[in-house]
Amino acid sequence: MLALIPLLVPVVLSGAAFASLASVKISAPLANFSLTIGDAAAQNCFPALGFKMPSAVPSSTNNWWCDQSTEYAFLGFSYEVTACQSRGQLIADFANIRKQFNGRYVRMYGACDRDGFYDDIVEAAWEAGIGVHALIWFGFDGGNIWQARCDSLVNSLWSNPKAKFVTRVVQFGSEPMFDSVLSVGNLAAHIWDLKGKIAALGIPITVSEMAYGYTKNNGALPVMSAIDIIDAHMLPFFAQDASTATQAWPIVTRDVEWFIQNGQGKKLILSQNGWPSVSYPGVEANSAAAVADVQNENDYFNLLDFECSYFKTLPGGVGWFAHIYSDSQEPGYGILGTNGQPKFNFNPRTSC
């Protein structure tokens, strides 16, 4: 996990005031689910919580997807796939994300190079009624394996009739600019090339990246101009001024506001977003005051849930993922522990 570098001078948060609220559980039971005018069509579109999957694959994606402005607050989970889960395991996990946690999406993280794996993802997502942020994973070892992964994904998107109905976006890398896997110009060129290959499917492209990945490259304007939506990483534990999760709001807002100011009006989603419950080599704070424990992980997601109205009222509405589904996928970050049970009560709102 990589360090999130502060960009702006932090403002002072009334931590004492929030600390008393951080443990308050605010939820909107589905039975009492209320929609604003902007959400009015949500129940009749994919992947809204009330949407019923059709018995057959539709002929067109026209009027299929929910309006992006309704996709704010909690969206779902990052889901690590290096274990190459079986189709049965994917079906079970995606169904649990949908039914237990009201997830609307899963965001792929890592890579599985098994033949047909993305078809298994598609089938599991279709059965669960959940959307997918697909990922072309560069990894950390260099090399060009990402090109084969890109070709494989494109093939699945075209050959699987259900794929375009569950694939909301393709992430072209996870922190590729922070890791300098390609120059900004080359990355942008490859994004445009991929867009040309899947444009007829109506699937947008993004790069899953922290704010610092852009700012270290002078804003990376060619990449920002090439992507269709913004998948932003939000890992305030690694900020140089981090302390406890209840004090993290200024860290969150300064990066969110950078993306709003520099994002060309594009939809913003917090894709790799979380707070670790344990620190270990590779997951080490850049601030001596930063605290990694289960309480702070819980507090961080309570903070995001408490600020639902802030995310709703930002241009286009801002949605967020929880990184990650289970500690068995990435130690310390999971909402589920290695025993498969939630580490704390996790029931964030999907609207407000």
pLDDT of residue 221: 98
Q: Tell the CATH topology of 75-322.
A: TIM Barrel (3.20.20)
- What 3-state DSSP class applies to 183? coil
* 260 vs 19: CA distance, rounded Å: 27
Count Cβ atoms within 10 A of the Cβ of residue 234 and give its class: 0-12 exposed, 13-18 middle, 19 or more buried.
buried
Amino acid at 67: D
Q: pLDDT at position 42, please?
A: 46
What's residue 140's pLDDT?
77
Residue 143: per-residue pLDDT? 82
pLDDT at 33: 30
Spans in the chain with pLDDT lower than 70: 1-43
State residue 139's pLDDT score: 82
Sorted by where each begins, the domain ranges of the chain are: 75-322
Q: What is the DSSP letter of 207?
A: E
pLDDT of residue 103: 98
Instruction: Give the separation between CA 48 and CA 59, rounded to whole angstroms.
Output: 20
| Dist. CA 58–CA 46, nearest whole Å | 12
Query: Could you report the per-residue pLDDT of 272-296, keeping only the tens digit for each?
Result: 999 999 999 989 999 999 999 999 9
State phi, psi for 105 to the nearest 5 degrees. -145, 155
Helix axes 117-128, 87-101, angle to 10 degrees: 30
Please answer whether residues 266 and 317 qualify as being in contact, where contact means their C-beta atoms are separated by less than 8 angstroms.
no
Backbone angles phi, psi at 324, to 5 degrees: -150, 175
Question: How far is it, in rounded angstroms, from Cα 153 to Cα 252?
Answer: 32
Distance (Å, whole) CA 136 – CA 114: 14
Q: Which helix (H) or strand (E) holds 174?
A: strand 167-174
Report the 10 Å Cβ neighbour count for 65: 16
| Cα 45 from Cα 65, distance rounded (Å) | 5
d(CA 202, CA 207): 17
- Three-state secondary-structure class, residue 342: strand
pTM exceeds cut of 0.85: yes
Give strand pairing partners of 81: none
